Chain A
Amino acid sequence: MDRDRKAIEGAKDYQRLVQQLAPKPNAARLAARAFLVGGTICFLGQFVFDYFRYRQPTEGEAIAATLASMILLGVVLTALGVYDDVGQLGGMGAAVPITGFANALTSAAMDFRREGFVLGMAAKMFVIAGPVIVFGILAGTLTGLVAWLVGAGP
């Protein structure tokens, strides 16, 4: 009984001890890395977009071609085993751009290929990216609804 009480008391300030002894990540350095990695990817995207704007008849098509190219880039870098290193370096800088979304889909598809194309790859492909799709569509729908209600839509 006494021992159990001591154990619980120990547990209470354990969280504080863990915080105290936890390695302190260098927030400034991590932010800088995220900025540089994310910025590089976006800069590359801009370059691709500028190129397509000259080549495609409309801006809409240029946008579509850019997205397709950046997604392809993400897929290829994931398949080559490189994108996880980009993520380790840049954190959110690698996760937020569309290349990160492509990586989420591709990495999951690669991982679960072993369990077959249907129950493995196809079913589990969205295990990481699923929330992006669900909440993205939900957010878009709600925004559209609000816009329509306030008369701000087309």
Chain B
Amino acid sequence: MPAIAVQRLGEYTVQLRQPPRIVGAFTLMGPREGAGPLGQYFDAIVDDDMWGEVSAEKAERKYLEHAARRALDQAGLAEQDVDYLIAGDLLNQIVSATFSARSLGIPYLGVFAACATSALGLGLAAMLVDGGYARRVLVATASHYQSVERQYRYPIELNIQRKETNQWTATGGAAAVVAPPGEGAGPRITRITFGRVVDWGIKDANDMGAAMAPAACDTLLRHFQDTNTTPGDYDLIITGDLAKVGSKLFRALVERVGVTLGGKHMDGGASMYGTAPWAGAGASGSVCSMAVLLGYVYKEMARGRYRRVLALPTGCLHSPTTWQQGDSCPGISHAIALETD
């Protein structure tokens, strides 16, 4: 029996044979995100976080479902044209993803990678399409400041003083359709380096940037090693939401092993809110990296500003329970390489 050709590069990276494209994308964000420096790149802005819903949880699933449907519209497809929905969010039991999947009626692969859900979803979607296991895959995520604060941290109106390392969960939904290269225009997903969980002992859940930076460094170095590339081979290396503090640590860590990112590094979380004081170190949330990728990066690649991009969304995998029990916060980062023709 002939062996299946293994499509791997080095130890950790997957090389897609016929790199699939992101043929449709939609980003739907809240007012604070719309008012930030990347606001012009988002497809729609809602004027109130709650979007007419009675709870933040109901609003979050509305963002996710709506973004998913509009992404299908952008690609000129209907629900039945897509074989899987890969979706995740930050809430317990990933309910926003599940309840959206209920409405969409597409076979549902729920995933959890905290704020790295975007790369996990897009990577898996690319593998399913490239492997011939799906004609097309819809990937979606959403997060909401209030629902995430309730679950992970404190009541919204509590007088707690936020530290400079705290991040502000982004509110919104973002989705993309991944399809074979012949089916449309859009950047191709060429390589995927899924990360392993990296925990360097950060116990402070108020400093997620520090918890995630080692994971981003780990995945980046593995990707470079496997693909035999350097920062010079990319026009942009964009991390998900390390935010201002985490980005400094990430750059320091990679420089220690001789990798210079120079001006190529950008962080979605650090860019989302500019210098807004309430944002602390910057944005977080599963929608942050997805919206920056599908809004800013996607559009700038279409304009020709970036031709080869390495995206490294990062996630902090603690729970309020593990944190209260004294466990440190493990991080993860998944890398996907995007290329325009």
CB within 8 Å of B: which residues of A?
A: 7, 10-11, 14-15, 17-18, 21-23, 25, 78-79, 81, 83-84, 86-88, 90-91, 94-95, 100, 103-104, 106-108, 110-112, 114, 127-128
Please give me the residue from chain A that is nearest to B218 by CB atom.
A7
Q: How many A-B residue pairs have CB under 8 A?
A: 92
Determine if A94 and B159 form an interchain contact, defined as CB atoms under 8 angstroms apart.
Answer: yes
Contact assessment for A14 and B159 in the assembled complex, using a CB-CB cutoff below 8 Å: no
- Cβ contacts A to B, 6 pairs, < 8 Å: A17-B253, A22-B210, A78-B157, A103-B158, A107-B159, A110-B156
Min CB distance B54 to A, Å, is 7
- How far is it, in angstroms, between the C-alpha of A18 and the C-alpha of B150 when the chains are bound? 27
Which residues from B are CB-within-8-Å of A112?
Answer: 150, 155
Whether a CB of chain A sits under 8 angstroms from the CB of B323 is no
Is there contact, CB below 8 Å, between A15 and B157? no
In angstroms, how far is the closest chain A Cβ from the Cβ of B193? 15
Is A114 a contact of B159 with CB atoms below 8 Å?
Answer: no
User: Which of B155, B162, B200 is A14 in contact with, Cβ under 8 Å?
Assistant: B200
Shortest Cβ gap from B239 to chain A (Å): 16
Given contacts A25-B163, A86-B159, A103-B158, 18 further A-B contacts (CB under 8 A): A7-B198, A14-B200, A15-B201, A15-B202, A18-B210, A22-B165, A25-B164, A78-B157, A79-B157, A87-B160, A88-B161, A100-B159, A107-B156, A107-B158, A108-B158, A110-B155, A112-B150, A128-B155
Q: Are B163 and A14 in contact (CB under 8 A)?
A: no
For the complex, is B249 an interface residue (Cβ under 8 Å from A)?
yes
Q: Is the CB of B252 within 8 A of A111?
A: no
Q: Which residue of A lies closest to B217 (CB)?
A: A10
Instruction: Rank and list the top 6 A-B pairs by shortest CB-CB distance, nearest first.
Output: A87-B159, A107-B157, A111-B155, A107-B155, A23-B164, A11-B200
Is B55 an interface position by the 8 A CB rule? yes
Judge whether B161 and A111 touch: CB under 8 Å. Answer: no
Give the chain B neighbours of A90 by CB distance below 8 A.
161
| Docked-complex contact A22 and B245, CB < 8 angstroms | yes
A14:B165 contact, CB within 8 angstroms: no
The complex places the Cα of A100 from the Cα of B164 at a distance, in Å, of: 22
B207 touches A (CB below 8 Å): yes
Q: How far is the CB of A24 from chain B (nearest CB, A)?
A: 9
Known: A10-B200, A114-B54. A18 touches B249 (CB 8 A): yes
B167 to chain A, nearest CB (A): 13
Chain A residues contacting B55 (CB-CB under 8 Å) are 114
The answer to whether B157 and A81 have CB atoms under 8 Å apart is yes
Report the minimal beta-carbon distance from B257 to chain A, rounded to whole angstroms: 9
> What count of chain B residues pass the 8 Å CB interface test?
32
**Complex: A112 Cα to B201 Cα, angstroms:** 32
- Do B164 and A110 have beta carbons less than 8 Å apart? no
B305: which A residues are within 8 A, CB to CB? none
Report if A14-B214 is in contact (Cβ < 8 Å); known contacts: A23-B164, A23-B245: yes
Residues of B within 8 A of A17 (CB): 249, 252-253
B157→A103 contact, CB < 8 A: yes
Beta-carbon contacts of B180-223 to A below 8 Å, as 1s and 0s? 00000000000000000010111000010010001000100000
B102 CB–A CB distance under 8 Å: no
Residues of B within 8 A of A86 (CB): 159
Complex CA gap A60/B157 in Å reads 32
Contact A10 B158 (CB under 8 A): no
Beta-carbon nearest neighbor of A83 in chain B:
B159
A contact residues around B202 at 8 Å (CB): 15, 18
Task: Determine if A111 and B156 form an interchain contact, defined as CB atoms under 8 angstroms apart.
Answer: yes
Write the nearest CB–CB distance from B221 to chain A, whole angstroms. Answer: 10
Find A104's partner among B158, B162, B252, B281 (CB 8 Å cutoff).
B158
A19 to B154, CA, bound (A): 25
Knowing A18-B210, A22-B245, the reply to whether A11 touches B201 (Cβ < 8 A) is yes
User: Which chain A residues lie closer than 8 Å to B264 at the CB level?
Assistant: none
Which residues of chain B have C-beta atoms less than 8 A from A107's C-beta?
154-159
Question: Contact: B201 with A84, CB < 8 Å?
Answer: no
Min C-beta distance of B91 to chain A, whole Å: 13
